[in-house]
Amino acid sequence: MILSFQFSDITKWIHDSLSGMMSPGWTLFSEFVLAGIAMILLVVALAVILVYMERKVAGFMQLRIGPNRVGLWGSLQVFADVFKLLLKESFAPNSVDKFLFNFAPILVLAVSFMALAPISYGPGMQLWDANIGILYVTAVSSIGVIGILMAGWSSNNKYSLLGAMRSGAQIVSYELSAGLSIVAVIAMCGSLSVSEIIASQADGWWVFKGHLPIMFAFVIYVIAGTAETNRAPFDLAEAESELTAGYHTEFSGMQFGMFYLTEYINMVVISMVAATVFLGGWLPFHIFGFDAFNNIMDYIPSFVWFFGKVFFIIFLMMWFRWTFPRLRIDQLLKLEWKYLLPLSIINIVIVAFITVMGWHF
């Protein structure tokens, strides 16, 4: 059964009923509040799913079962973890910089929430359709570095400082490659707006349409994205066996919970951007010419497609974490500056050439 209504019908209904009840200013305000609540619920749902997924995936890769005591198949494990974090005492050591210490987790969390705004989850399901959507996401994620450095510095701990410095250097370097890979698609597509990028993939995802340069850009983006979120094999900043948790050593209780949550939300943001830009967003998988196949693919709702792609990339990132050892800081930075960045630049030049010549589909 094809869903015979669209998401815009729901939003129109809400808008009409609210403007019937209140003045336009209040309507706008209540719509903001509703959108905010929807976002928060989405983030909470994603966090719950992701934490559970990480532990189960890790368990299966390590020949064990993973959580299976709390709830059916361990599904309530996340709630138990959150409950534990809430019950812990969230204290600050005496000699920390009080304002920065308390502000750092809030900053990183707020920044990762902000990055979710322009992403499109389905046709019409978008919080903010800006014409600089992708640029906004990259720009806002960069602010997170300040939060990490704040956390490391204000902890008044040699280990935390070392970890924060390492992390800062790493994130700032890998943003370049990540940005340049996205620029490859934007060059071919011609617009920064999220909805237009998705619309331009109606006849095929960029990863297939753009051939080799875009596939290459996709691979570079996934690598750079893993490095940006401080996930293994680039997790030197929180390497447990070296510096005992790095920049968030001194945080406990819910403040640590906020850093933990931020790591997962960042992973989601990176995957969402990759799914949108390279894998067609909420568009289904069509093979040119197979109309029957395409019709079947259309039955599956678009947000299922979107989240399917997002979780596929998240699964890739988790797979990396449990397979590879970690890189040393100088090897990490060498990888970026000597290998990924020059390759990205060459890639961009090729893509520009292809676009100007009109050689793509």
**Would you give the DSSP letter of residue 327?**
P
CB atoms within 10 A of CB 17: 11
Closest CA to 103 of 277, 223, 255: 255
> Minimal distance in Å, beta carbon 325 to other proteins?
4
Which x/- pattern, by CB under 8 A, does the window 271-310 give for other proteins? ----------------------------------------
Report yes or no: 213 and 351 within 8 Å, Cβ to Cβ.
Answer: yes
The yes or no reply on residue 235 touching other proteins (CB under 8 A) is: yes
- CA 51 from centroid of its chain's CA atoms: 14
> Minimal distance in Å, beta carbon 153 to other proteins?
15
The yes or no reply on residue 324 touching other proteins (CB under 8 A) is: yes
Report yes or no: 300 and 284 within 8 Å, Cβ to Cβ.
Answer: yes
The yes or no reply on residue 64 touching other proteins (CB under 8 A) is: yes
Among 20, 24, 241, 289, binds other proteins (CB under 8 A): 241
Considering beta carbons, is residue 299 or 324 the nearer one to other proteins?
324
Closest CA to 274 of 137, 93, 70: 137
Q: What is the DSSP string of 124-163?
A: TEES---TTHHHHHHHHHHHHHHHHHHHHHHTT-HHHHHH
The yes or no reply on residue 60 touching other proteins (CB under 8 A) is: no
> Minimal distance in Å, beta carbon 144 to other proteins?
23
Which x/- pattern, by CB under 8 A, does the window 18-57 give for other proteins? ----------------------------------------
The yes or no reply on residue 162 touching other proteins (CB under 8 A) is: yes
Question: Is residue 286 classed as helix, strand or coil in its secondary structure?
Answer: coil
| Contact set with other proteins (CB under 8 A) | 58, 61-64, 158-159, 162, 232-233, 235-236, 239-244, 322-331
